[in-house]
Structure 1
Amino acid sequence: MKKLILLFLLIPFLGSAQDKGTHFEHGLSWQQVKEKAKKENKYLFVDCFTTWCGPCKYMTSTIFPQEKVGDFFNKNFVNVKVQFDKTKDDSEEVKSWYADAELIDKEFKIRAYPTFLIFSPQGELVHRIVGGGDADGFIAKATKALSPETQYYTMLKKYNAANPSPEELKELVAIAEAAYDEENATKFAAAYLATQKDPYTKANLEFLSKYLKDSKSKGFALILKEPKRVDAVLGKGKANEILGKVILNEHIYPGLRKPTANIDSLITAANAKYPTVDMRKSTDLLKVQFYQGTKKWDKFQPAVLDYMKKYGSEVNAEMLNNFAWAVFENCKDADCVASAMAWSKRSVEETQEKEPAFLDTYANLLYKLGKKDEAIAMQQKAVNLVPAEKKGDYQATLDKMKKGE
C-alpha cells in the first residue's frame, strides 16, 4: 500500500517535469488554432515539418523540450505542429490535417524544412523562420516575430509602401534570402542595382556574386556582358564561377533528377546556350560526383582521373579522401588504385595525420597494394586517434589486416 501511495504522490511531479517544454496544441483544426490564438491574444507559431527532415527531428527532440524554450513559446504563442509529408504510419490526427497542410503549403509557399510561420493574433502572417538552431539562437529569431519593427512581412509592407534607400534594399535582400523568399529577394536585388551608377564596383559585384540566382536578372546580364571587367575586380575566373552556378542550377541540375538523365547531353546543351561561359571545372567535378552517386564505376574512374589531372593541386583533403575511398571500394585497375593512394597520402599529410578517417583510407589502400606492414602501422594510428565510441570498426579493420583477411 505504501508503494502505491508513494507512486501516486509522484504523478504530479512527473507531469510537471513533462510540461516544462513547449506545449503544442492537439485535437484542434487549423481554423480552431487560429481562433484560440485570437481569443488568447497571442501570436500563432506553426512548426511546418516532415518526418524525414533531420533538423525537424532535432528541434522536436532537443530544442522544444527545454524549459527555457517552453517558457518563451508558451508565454507568447499558441503553438501547433503541422506535418507536410504523408506516411503509412500517420495517426488519425495527422490525417485530419492533410487538407489544411496542403492549403498552408499552397498559400504560404513552404520551400524548405523546418519552416516556422508566425501569425498575429488576428491571423495575419507577420514572420517566417527557416531552419532550426540552438535554444538561445532560436529564441532570438522568434523574438523578432513579436515586434512590428522586426517582423519580416511587416517590414516588407513598410518598404513596399515607401521608397527604401539602397542600403535598405540590400538589407531586404538578405532578409528575404534568409526567409527563402526568392521572389522578393530577386525584386529587391534588381531595385538595388537600379540605384547604382556603376554596378562593377567591388561592393556591387560581391553583392551580385552572393545573391545572383536567375539568368533572366539584370545582374546576370551585366556579368555575362563584361566578364573581363568582373575578373579584374574580383579575381581571375570569378565571372565564370558566378555565371556557372546559375547555369548549373537552371539548366543541368533539374535534368539530373530524371531517371533517364544524360549528363553529357545536359552539359553540351548548356554550353551551346552560353558559349562564352567556361564551366569546364564545375562540370568536370559534376561528372565525377554524378557517376559516383549513380554507381557508374566504369565512367567514374576515367572522370575522376581526368579531374585530378587537371585540378588536383586545388583539391582539399576531404575531397581527396572521398575520391580515394571511392576508388578503393569500386575500382580494380592497379594504376587507378595507385593514383588514389597518392591522393590519400596527400590528405593524410595535409591534415598532419590527425584525421582517423583519412588514415583509415590510406591504410586500406596500402593493404590493397600489398604493403601490409605499412597498412597495419597506419591503421593503428587511426585506432589510437578515433573516439572510444567509434573504435570498434577501426579495430575490426586492423584485426583483419593482421590476420591477412
Structure 2
Amino acid sequence: MFTKIIYTFFFLVAISFNAQSKTGIQFQTKNLEEAKKLAQQENKLIFIDLYTTWCGPCKLMKKNTFPNPELGEFFNKNFISLYIDAEKEGTELAKKFKIVNYPSFLFLDQNSELVQYEYGYYNAAQFLNIGQSVTEKRNSDKKTPTISEVKGKMVGEMIPNFTAKDQFEKTFSLSQEKKKTVVVFIRGQWCPYCNKYVESLQNLAPELQSKNTRLVIISPEKPEFIEKTISKTKTAYSVLYDENYRIAELFDVLYTPEKKTLDFYENRLGDDFKKSRSDDSGRLPVSATYILDENQKIIWRHFNPDYKERASLEDIVKQL
C-alpha cells in the first residue's frame, strides 16, 4: 500500500512538472538560420536570450520570469524564441552585437537584423512591456498598402510554405500538399459577396477531385467567426484562420481600407468587424484567387481590388 502511494505521488509530481514546463516562453532548439526560416514562414520576430552559466540574473530570468503564462502566451504568438549560451554556440552573436552584459536580449527581424536590445533582470510584467514595445515598433515600421497600392503576388512567383488550422482543427501545410492548390481569400462572414461566392465554389468539387486539386479558403477571422461562414455557406472546403494576416502578407493581398470605409464597417457591423480579427487595425485581404502548382509556384491568379468581382468558376476550371 505504501509503495502504491509513493508511485502515485511521483506520478502526480511528474504530471505537475510536465504541465509547468508547457507554460511560459517556449524556447526552440534551433540555430539562427533555422529560426529565420521559421520566422519568415510564421511572420514572427526572433527573440534570443543570450546567457552564461555563471550569470545569476540569467538563472533568475529562467526561474522566475520566462515561465510566466501571460508572458509565454504573448511571446509564443509573436516570436521564435532561442536560448543560447554566449560562451558556446553564441560566441559569434556576442561578438557581432558587442555583448558585455548578461543576460542580454536580442530582438531581431526575419532577416536577423537588430530591432531592439535589452539586458539585465526583469520580472514578467516588465519583460512583457518590452516585448510589446518591440512588436509595436515592428508594426509601425511596416506600412500596409492602401487598396489602390496593393498589387498581389504575380504569376511565376513562389509562395513560401505556410501552415494554418481549419474549422476541423486540422493543420493545413502548403508544402505537404504535393498537388495543385486553389487559394481563395475572403473578407469575412459579414460580407454577403464572400458568402455567396464561397457557396458557389462547392460546384467545383467534382472538377477539383478529378484533377487532384485542393481548394482552401483563407479568412482573416477567428475560429468562432469562421463557424458563421460555415453555417451561412454550408461549405465543405477547409477554411483557414489567417492569424496575424500571415498568409495574406505572403500573397501581398493585405491592405488598409480608407478611414471612411473603416468607420462605415465599424458602425454598421459592430463586433462582427471589430472583434473578428487578430487585431483592431481594420486590415483586410483583397478577395483574390490564386492557383499554385505542386512546387508552390503561382500559375494563375484573379486579382481585382473590387470585392464584388470574383474569379469565375469557368476560368478556374480552365487553369486546372
User: TM-score, normalization: structure 1?
Assistant: 0.31
The higher-RCO structure (CA 8 Å, 6+ apart) is 2
Q: Radius of gyration: which is bigger?
A: 1
Higher share in strand: 2
User: TM-score, normalization: structure 2?
Assistant: 0.38
